[in-house]
Amino acid sequence: MSVSEKAVMMMKNGFLCSQSVFAALSEELGLERELALKISTGLGAGISCQGDICGAVSGGILAIGLKHGNHEGLSDPDSQGKTFYLTQELIEKIKAKHGCYTCKDLTGLDFTKPENVKLAHESGIFEKICSHVIRDSVQIVEEIWK
């Protein structure tokens, strides 16, 4: 099973888009799955149901930082610059493919209203929209970070 399909399956099994993308990608980098799930929880539904940047994109950004970000002992402007560049590339490619990169614009729903979560489940929004953005986010990250 590909990493993108694994991420989509995670979403279908109840994980948030942010968790699905970050956990699937971070496994390749040696981060424990449970830790990846915890780290990425608050980014779901456009950063804690605010409708901002899509969780799938946020999960991809976390994975890019995990692979290329600077860290203690490596205060390297080049690694920070590479992380910024790859993050911008991910966002631009998602915008080109889907027209936007925010949860609210992608789904057309305001998840600060609990009734819209129910509506999203009933109308199949997660399957119709989110699964494609998850798949694309993983594939784009895999393509650009090598």
Can you tell me the mean pLDDT for 80-102?
96
Distance from C-alpha of 35 to C-alpha of 63, rounded to nearest angstrom: 13
In a domain? residue 146: no
Quick one: pLDDT at residue 111?
94
Distance from C-alpha of 141 to C-alpha of 28, rounded to nearest angstrom: 12
In a domain? residue 86: yes
In a domain? residue 85: yes
What total number of domains does the chain contain? 1
The C-alpha angle with vertex 75 and arms to 73 and 78, in degrees rounded to 5, equals 130
In a domain? residue 8: yes
Q: pLDDT at residue 75 above 70? A: no
Phi, psi (5° rounding) for residue 129? Answer: -115, -55
In a domain? residue 96: yes
Can you tell me the mean pLDDT for 115-131?
94
Q: Which of 21-30, 50-59, 62-71, 74-83 has the lowest mean pLDDT?
A: 74-83
Can you tell me the mean pLDDT for 95-122?
95
95, 56 in Cβ contact below 8 A?
no
Tell me the pLDDT band of 70, cut-offs 50, 70 and 90.
confident
- Its pTM stands at 0.94
Q: Domain range spanning residue 102?
A: 3-141
Distance from C-alpha of 125 to C-alpha of 130, rounded to nearest angstrom: 7
Distance from C-alpha of 142 to C-alpha of 9, rounded to nearest angstrom: 18
Can you tell me the mean pLDDT for 64-90?
85
